[in-house]
């Protein structure tokens, strides 16, 4: 029952550069692999000068995964540069999102240790068709049922989406090695991660935590000034504000990030934070809480799904199962 909680505590300690002496490294590595944080675990311990404290076989495994991920990220950066160059030739300057930002900004010969699943780019809605045609000329083929496009020789999928303005600062133009892109400010990137996880994927209701994105937020707060108070002000909907504050409480709980004191003032926020931490550390006992959240979220999503009335019983059951049982990299 405590195995997950102990492994989670040891993983967080490692990500903060302070390995615990009595960690069950088999459980820690399993959790790091599940949350896509294994390369970050190695780099955090190496950066803190603590990697030598790990057992040799653990150290060698983490280094192997880290090095494999480094080679993959180098390939992803080459892929990103090729796509940006082709778009620039059509006078299209894409906005880089999520993991594409550190890949582009990292110095030559170095890449971030973050495990990146795909490359996310946004363009103005009026430029979307031209950008799509540009990528098709590079050999990208659309993946059915998704925004992503892929090629056989690439390390990851490329997702192209229309840019959507928000109430925060506009993206800043950045030019590097002759390539022109736009980079959203730190607050916009933080808001994007929070909205995507807690609202779009329902982690606020389902009681889940995307630990990799939470670690991204912690690193972003370390490297850039993120005005959490301004971020709270930019969210007007009460439910979205509760979700934002719940994520900030988790950020402080796991990584010690400084957040506004008023995040913990509302009882609903405190309850949601407790529920997420409890189910993450006690997955068996917390299963009824997770199930209740999944049912509420699945019912809400399915009631608003386009064309739901046209679905047959088999398709409806399949969508329900996919919604309720989806785990991916969450805890």
Average pLDDT over residues 122-142: 95
Which has more pLDDT, 1 or 184? 184
Residue where a domain terminates, one of 184, 206, 231: 184
Q: Which residues pair with 149 in a beta bridge?
A: 142, 158
3-state SS, residue 113: coil
Residues 315, 203 within the same domain? yes
Domain that holds residue 200: 185-331
**Is the Cα torsion angle 322, 324, 330, 331 positive or negative in sign?**
negative
Residues 331, 191 within the same domain? yes
Say how many domains are in the chain. Answer: 3
Alpha-carbon gap, residue 162 to 177, rounded angstroms:
25
Token pair belonging to 166: 């928000």
Residue where a domain terminates, one of 184, 206, 232: 184
The pLDDT tens digits of the residues spanning 143-152 come to 988 889 999 9
State pTM to two decimals.
0.88
Alpha-carbon gap, residue 185 to 25, rounded angstroms:
37
Residues 269, 166 within the same domain? no
Residues 150, 240 within the same domain? no
| pLDDT for residue 2 | 42
Average pLDDT over residues 12-16: 97
Assess whether pLDDT exceeds 90 at residue 313. no
| pLDDT for residue 59 | 97
The DSSP-derived string for 197-237 is: IIIIS-HHHHT---HHHHHHHHHHHHHS---HHHHHHH--S
Alpha-carbon gap, residue 258 to 52, rounded angstroms:
30
Assess whether pLDDT exceeds 80 at residue 119. yes
Average pLDDT over residues 256-275: 94
Q: Which residues pair with 122 in a beta bridge?
A: 95, 161
Token pair belonging to 136: 């098709």
Residues 141, 154 within the same domain? yes
Mean pLDDT (the chain, rounded): 89
| pLDDT for residue 318 | 59
Residues 145, 38 within the same domain? no
């Amino acid at each position: 029952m405590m195995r997950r909680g102990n492994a989670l505590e040891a993983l967080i300690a490692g990500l903060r550069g302070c390995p615990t002496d009595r960690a069950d490294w088999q459980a820690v590595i399993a959790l790091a692999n599940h949350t896509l944080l294994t390369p970050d675990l190695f780099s955090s311990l190496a950066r803190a000068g603590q990697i030598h404290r790990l057992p040799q076989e653990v150290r060698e495994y983490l280094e192997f995964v880290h090095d494999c991920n480094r080679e993959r990220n180098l390939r992803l950066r080459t892929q990103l540069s090729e796509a940006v160059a082709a778009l620039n030739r059509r006078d299209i300057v894409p906005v880089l999102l999520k993991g594409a930002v550190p890949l582009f900004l990292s110095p030559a010969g170095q890449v971030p240790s973050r495990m990146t699943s795909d490359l996310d780019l946004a363009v103005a809605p009026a430029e979307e068709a031209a950008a799509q045609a540009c990528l098709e000329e590079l050999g990208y083929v659309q993946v059915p049922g998704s925004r992503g496009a892929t090629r056989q020789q690439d390390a990851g999928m490329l997702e192209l989406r229309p840019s959507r303005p928000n109430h925060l600062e506009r993206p800043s133009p950045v030019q590097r090695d002759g390539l022109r892109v736009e980079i959203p400010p730190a607050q916009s990137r933080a808001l994007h991660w929070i909205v995507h996880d807690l609202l779009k994927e329902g982690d606020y209701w389902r009681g889940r935590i995307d630990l990799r994105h939470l670690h991204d937020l912690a690193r972003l707060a370390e490297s850039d000034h993120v005005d959490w108070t301004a971020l709270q002000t930019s969210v007007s909907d009460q439910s979205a504000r509760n979700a934002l504050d719940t994520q900030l409480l988790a950020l402080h709980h796991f990584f010690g990030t400084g957040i506004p004191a008023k995040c913990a003032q509302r009882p609903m926020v405190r309850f949601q934070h407790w529920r997420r931490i409890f189910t993450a550390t006690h997955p068996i006992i917390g299963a009824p809480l997770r199930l209740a959240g999944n049912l509420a979220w699945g019912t809400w999503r399915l009631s608003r799904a386009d064309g739901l009335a046209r679905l047959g019983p088999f398709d409806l059951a399949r969508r329900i199962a996919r919604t309720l049982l989806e785990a991916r990299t969450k805890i």
